[in-house]
Amino acid sequence: MRKFKIPQMPQTTTKSIRFPNDVIEEVEEALIGTDCTFSAFVVEAVKVALENLKEDDEENNQA
């Protein structure tokens, strides 16, 4: 049986970025009733976008 280890939090860096007000409002509305923070939402969205770009690049290189 594998032993339990407390996971380490990834290192983070604070970045100041500007969002259009309408985007902020849409994200905040989407987060209502969830335990997700604005920052966690943005990090996940960026991760998905990066994965999509990588997949697109791989598809273009195969063509």
pLDDT tens for each residue of 13-59: 999 999 999 999 999 999 999 999 999 999 999 999 999 999 999 88
Question: Is pLDDT above 90 for 2?
Answer: no
The whole-number pLDDT of residue 4 equals: 76
| Interior/surface letters 24-39, b for 16+ CB within 10 angstroms, e for the rest | eeeeeeeeeeeeeeee
pTM here? 0.77
